[in-house]
Structure 1
């Protein structure tokens, strides 16, 4: 089996055996890890890649001439190429390596943002993660730019008619999540891009969830910027990427200054390195980026559609079971959604539910999920979120449902 022949028939038991942490017990119960939208667990291949860097070939990248520096640089730049291939970018120079999606969005806000003037408009949606809200609010405070908000329907879908109505000659950027971390809703990126193009605006897509749960080809999507983070993609924390189309990276000014991003430094001026290094100041997260490359290699072993179907079956099973329990409000019922299930229970706080589920070894996320505007849209202050990954099973869904039923009986 080659890297170019992805596996369509998923052997979930074999996949699970590659994740050491899944052998753990929590409170005397087998771990059922359903907090994947926050961060996924790591396969042995990623753990070994990190270990091998530090054990055998660690050195700072690029400028060294010795063997270790050359080995580290080759692996580091190899990971950049893997990311480009994974996202369907035309070349690796379109990939800026960052600490994650948050830093990537801040990079665009602080670089592209230097071209904005007072009164220019940025469109966001009510379903955005705080990482795709705060950088734009800070930018608006500095520049006088205006943020306009696209509403979300009762089923948790983007209101495309409202989005069209928000477009104007002053719209400079549409920054939206590709797949919601709370609702699981997959937004129609091509439709968003067309609307923006018709109005002369750029598009940034937050792919933190979509890059994990569905095939992504940024060239086909036509977006200007795409960000994702490695730790949700079975990779290390502290590594992610920004994709920029066309000549955006050449046109935009750098954000952070320091080593690595320069060509020449003089007392009265400096010039910048070629892209993408112009945007990569300082020593990067070398081992973590190499580990992200290993995670992408691991993910690409499996057919993406087969993984989607597996995760969707788990979501459908969980949704059916939760829907049958009285007093539970599902948050996000869009038809086209990823494997994320959020809900609120009448008379019970999400934190209490999560703590009780933990007693049965079930790990879920509880809170506002860094999406407080969305919580207010649905009239809740928090939800419980169960999110599924390639290594989860139907039996684990049943354990979750049984534990939820017991927790509900205890609290209400």
Structure 2
């Protein structure tokens, strides 16, 4: 079956869409809890939260899943612009059940009171000892939760659902499509897939990450989790949650008092602390432009301003980052990367038995982070499946976060995704 490939020129797309929503009215927005699946832990944690942007009467819903350490607030600027451009489409950004563990109450206060609450350690913190059951929150739990969201968005078949995700959220979206939900293939719930700088089958190879887990390696990782290594601590700057707290505090000060001397900089670890005095907005630029902790959490100021980034960071709810990421979810997503019903996948309970049957339209965008591997991986998925309608787009000057936060007129991702969604909606 011949594959339809729409290679989109970034400049043409920007010219076609830029300014389309200038002066557009604010769109409707709500952040709501939704029932999740039954899973290990208290029943109160069997829920997720969803940021819903756009008309509740829309006939098409785009459900978006954040990447590693990402949260629903990262999609807020993008969701508002998409909903304004496409009135017949509503955007749902999902906060995984891990966000039930966070204490974001302090961010509703003034910057100084929020700083006292968090830096004074008055907030509710979690540890592997307080929430050991998080060690069992893997991909199966996430997809069971996500299916509740997808079916709610579909509203009994009255609405079309497009499922997408950023980074490992794109991996999650593809896993959903290829998953077996007790005899029901996940892709049959969907009218399309949107991959934002991520995916499967070496999508991150250009960044230097390839995943080829053996059964012995999976066993070793499971033993580590069972032994108490419940949380992924790759962004730890103190406690597990310290990174997310400091970033949100930096954003809150920068959004409220951009030109004041930074009140947060001195609390950063020595290796990340500015060598000279900076303003609150200057600290945000330092953290995400000048001296980012990892390339995945940087922005290009030609696309994303420090002020826009500060607003996204400030929240207060939903936030831009998760506090607690389960190691079991990392393990499962790595095991899902071959996108096949492998021995390791079966060992971990991953139900990837429908990956070659997927037949819905697919959109894939890549930034400069992966040096071409994200779209190459998407093309592999297309070649191994029944997908015949595929759109590829790219902007190698953009960073991994820019597609979510860039100014609309400059956002190549937004300006190429819009016509794809409009076509699926029949607009």
Same fold (TM over 0.5): no
After TM superposition, the score normalised by the length of structure 1 is 0.27
Between structure 1 and structure 2, the one with the greater Rg is 1
After TM superposition, the score normalised by the length of structure 2 is 0.26
